Structure 1
Amino acid sequence: MTVFGLPIETLYLYMLIIAAALTIIYMLFGDVLEGIGEVIPIANPILILAFVTFFSATGYLLETLTSLSSLIIIFIAMLIAFILDTLLNVFILGPLASAEESLGYTEESLIGRVGKIIIPVPADGYGEVVIESKSGRISKPVTAYHNQPIPEGTEVLILDIKGGVLYAEPYSKDVLDA
């Protein structure tokens, strides 16, 4: 079968080479196109490029290795590409997207946590606190909840957050043990 004056095997091979090149370019410059996937969720560039790659690779292999009709091969290649694309989305891209988000934190999740003052808090002023987490250390501006000074090295309990500033009070484990 010929399409646009080319044998269909050559067309599959050209599609495969172009899709591979675009995939490499997308991996290098993908942040520029990241918004497309958010505006139109079905138009995720990775899934489109993966579909074209799977389709062209399957079509090329079936054309060169079997004697099936080209229309049957197109149908089989589309079906295999759809199945592989779906598996890629469900088992690889989906978990990767949720794993990336799970390393982050929200400011509200810091309320009730214990941190350590690294820059002392003056009366009616601001300092800095470090909070240990599973994904690393979080450093945030802090002020005292009742406007009293808090010296460096003091453990504090985060009570509130307003405008990106943590409001904290000195924390002592002895109070809880009594």
Structure 2
Amino acid sequence: METLFLSCLVGGILFAIISVLLGDWISASLDGALDFLSVEGYSLFRPTVIASWVTIFGGAGLLLHEYTELGNIVVLILTFLIASALALGLYFAYIRPMERSENSVGFSIRELEGLIGEVLVPIPAQGFGEVLIQVGAARSNYIASSFYGTDIPSEAKIIVVDVDASEGVLFVSKFDI
């Protein structure tokens, strides 16, 4: 029994170390040959969850075997339950919320209202020019028209007052501090 638990503990620890230090390199060099290990649809059976279950199984088994007077069958059952409970806890407390979080640099043109930018191409009173707006870490150019019908010179600071999303035009006003 002790050999089983020790093997699970050491194997889980080695898996964690190798995946952290060499995971990207191994994945790139094998060119996706191990993608079959990821079970699609059931993220509860991801390699991370399974490896944590194996590691917890080994550690809990060693502790129960060494420090209790329980029989082997009882130790196996308790170890299985402990590993399952902690792996489920890891999944629901950490992995699942991380899967549902979104990291996106995308935005809607409607979100530009209220942002401050700079005029690149002068905006005539009755026409279009070009402005530079920073959204997050990205800077993008947009077609702009004067909201109040006044000329706005190049390099002037502007604020986006309204957006015509269908035409992709920003209506801007000179921003005086």
**As a proportion of its length, which structure holds more helix?**
1
Give the TM-score, by structure 1 length: 0.66
Unaligned runs of 5+ in 1: 1-7
Paired position in structure 2 for 1:50: 52
Aligned length: 156
Paired position in structure 2 for 1:155: 158
CA shift digits 1:119-141 (9 cap, x unpaired): 7136777553213xxxx544223
Whether the 8 Å contact between 1:121 and 1:128 is mirrored in structure 2 is no
Question: RCO greater where, 1 or 2, for CA within 8 Å and sep 6 or more?
Answer: 2
d(CA) in 1 for partners of 2:120, 2:138: 17
Whether the 8 Å contact between 1:12 and 1:57 is mirrored in structure 2 is yes
Whether the 8 Å contact between 2:8 and 2:58 is mirrored in structure 1 is yes
Residue 144 (str. 1) matches residue 139 (str. 2): no
Residue 130 (str. 1) matches residue 134 (str. 2): yes
In the TM superposition, 1:13-162 aligns within 5 A as 13-28=6-21, 29=23, 32=27, 36=38, 40-98=42-100, 101=102, 104-108=104-108, 110-117=111-118, 120-121=120-121, 128-131=132-135, 136-144=136-144, 151-157=154-160, 159=163
Unaligned runs of 5+ in 2: none
RMSD, aligned CA: 3.6
Q: Percent identity?
A: 22
d(CA) in 2 for partners of 1:15, 1:161: 57
d(CA) in 2 for partners of 1:62, 1:37: 31
Give the TM-score, by structure 2 length: 0.67
